[in-house]
Every structure is written in structure tokens, then in C-alpha cells.
């Protein structure tokens, strides 16, 4: 499906190499009593360097789509390719940020981040240098030994983000990682996420219920229907890569994209 470029928008420059390719994807969950179609005939291409946000109502298959790309859910119909190869098993060369930070309560910030290195058998010195860089990048300097209960929700999510980025994945999948945060902290995390994306060059796919978050972060926005999840439309708001929060929210391009998404969701009778 071709992306809709809104009036007045300019398409940002993005590398053209496809890094995620989903074609005619259908996912059914079967039990003894029933069958649920979570995704129906979904096709999507994500190119290297893009920040793609996926917006839609609860239960529309957004999280399922991420798990299929990550190779965490078998039994789908259609094709899922990552880095040009079919996804047939859990993928190690990605980062995944979940809805909860899932930090180990007995480990400090730095040790929670380095858990990724231990699980992957990374070189210790390289991992430590990388962890220190990410701690600085995400504003966690001075909290290296702090335990999770000593951190705010936003800081916990920063630690989880560092952990997901420790092995320098080319692709970062994010499943509603800021949904449990208060509104102000969520805005701050959106600003940080935009900066981290620009500075690392990582390809990001993020699912969200929030229309403002989808528009603020996305270089492309995928709007999904209620279950069975289908792609209703893909939008290119044409905002610059570097985005100041207050200025961006007043940008006519932001307003047009947000109104279009709300209209699409309203047209499918989904709650805001």
C-alpha cells in the first residue's frame, strides 16, 4: 500500500533498502472452541533508517505484528522477512522494548543494562563501554548503581531502552513502551526517543494507542483497523527528523496528520 503524503508535507530523506518486509500476513489463534483472526492480509515494508509508528485500537494485532517480525510467534500465513531472510525462529539481531521495563529489582542500572551482554555472550569490555555510552546518551549518568525502586517510571524505561540497544541492533521494535507513564513523562520520553533515533540511525517500529505520539515520532504512520487487524492507511506527515515538542505540535503538518488518523479511527468506529 502506497503511503499517503499529506498536503504541504515534504518527504524526509530515508535510505531505500528494505529491512523489514511483511507480505499478505494473516495470523489465526485457534482453540478447541473458536478461532480468532488477529491479523488479516497485512503487507508492510520498513526501510533502513525509518521510524515507523503503528496506531490502532486495542486488540487490533499491533503487538502480534511486532512479535511475528521478531520471530516470537510461529504459525502465521504469508511472508515475514528481516534483513532479506525469512523469519523462521526468534531473531537475535534486533532490540525489543516491551510495555513493562522488566528490570531485575536486585540489580542496579548498569548491571540491568549489562544483563543483555551476559545473555548474548558479548565481549565484556566492549559491552561496558557501550553501556556507559548509552547511560550518557539517555541522561542516566549518576544513577549507574541505583536500583529500580529508586528510579521513576521514565528512568526505568530509559534503562530498558539502553538494554535493548546494548548490542547495537539495526532494528528496534517497541511495544507501547511509554503507555504506563504519566503525560508529562511520556512527552519527555518521546523527545528523548526522537533524539536517540537520530543519533543512532536505528530503524524503529513502535506501536501505540496515542495519536500524538504516533505523529510526533513517526516518519511514517501505519493506521490499523479493529480485529481482524488490517492496514487502513499509511501516512507520511513530512515533518523534519529533528522535532521540538512544542513547535511540532503547533505545526500544521502535525495537525493534519493527527486529524486524518482520528478520522480513520472514527470511521472504523473505534474509541479514541
pLDDT tens, residue by residue, 11-57: 444 446 799 999 999 999 988 788 889 999 999 999 999 999 999 98
| Phi, psi dihedral angles at 252 (to 5 degrees) | -55, -30
Q: What pTM value is reported for the model?
A: 0.89
Give the DSSP H/E element, type plus range, for residue 194. helix 183-200
C-alpha cell at 186: 511520556
pLDDT at 269: 43
pLDDT at residue 267 above 70? no
C-alpha cell at 95: 532490540
CA 169 to chain centre: 13
Question: Which among 224, 198, 243, 267 is positioned nearest to 53, based on CA atoms?
Answer: 224
Q: Per residue in 139-167, pLDDT tens?
A: 999 999 999 999 999 999 999 999 999 99
Scanning the structure block, which residue is given the C-alpha cell 510495555? 99
DSSP track, 91-146: -SSSEEE-SS----TTS-HHHHHHHHHHHHT--HHHHHHHHHHHHHHTT-TT-TT-
Amino acid at each position: 500500500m502506497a503511503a499517503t503524503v499529506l498536503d504541504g508535507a515534504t518527504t524526509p530523506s530515508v535510505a531505500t533498502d528494505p529491512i523489514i518486509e511483511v507480505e499478505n500476513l494473516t495470523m489465526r489463534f485457534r482453540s478447541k472452541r473458536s478461532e480468532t483472526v488477529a491479523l488479516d492480509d497485512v503487507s508492510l515494508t520498513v526501510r533502513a533508517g525509518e521510524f515507523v509508528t503503528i496506531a490502532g485500537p486495542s486488540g487490533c494485532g499491533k503487538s502480534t505484528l511486532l512479535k511475528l517480525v521478531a520471530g516470537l510467534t510461529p504459525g502465521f500465513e504469508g511472508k515475514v522477512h528481516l534483513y532479506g531472510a525469512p523469519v523462521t525462529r526468534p531473531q537475535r539481531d534486533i532490540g525489543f522494548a516491551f510495555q513493562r521495563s522488566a528490570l531485575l529489582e536486585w540489580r542496579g542500572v548498569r548491571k540491568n543494562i549489562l544483563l543483555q551482554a551476559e545473555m548474548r555472550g558479548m565481549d565484556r569490555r566492549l559491552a561496558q563501554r557501550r553501556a556507559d555510552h548509552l547511560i550518557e546518551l539517555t541522561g542516566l549518568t549518576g544513577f549507574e548503581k541505583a536500583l529500580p525502586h529508586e528510579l521513576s517510571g521514565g528512568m526505568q524505561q530509559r534503562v530498558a531502552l539502553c538494554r535493548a540497544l546494548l548490542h547495537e541492533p539495526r532494528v528496534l521494535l517497541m511495544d507501547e513502551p511509554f503507555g504506563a507513564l504519566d503525560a508529562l513523562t511520556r512527552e519527555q520520553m518521546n523527545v528523548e526517543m526522537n533524539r536517540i533515533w537520530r543519533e543512532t540511525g536505528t530503524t524503529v517500529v513502535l506501536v501505540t494507542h496515542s495519536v500524538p505520539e504516533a505523529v510526533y515520532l513517526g516518519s511514517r504512520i501505519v493506521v490499523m483497523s479493529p480485529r481482524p487487524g488490517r492496514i487502513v492507511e499509511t501516512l507520511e506527515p513530512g515533518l523534519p527528523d529533528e522535532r521540538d515538542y512544542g513547535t511540532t505540535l503547533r505545526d500544521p503538518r502535525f495537525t493534519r496528520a493527527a486529524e486524518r488518523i482520528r478520522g480513520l479511527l472514527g470511521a472504523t468506529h473505534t474509541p479514541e
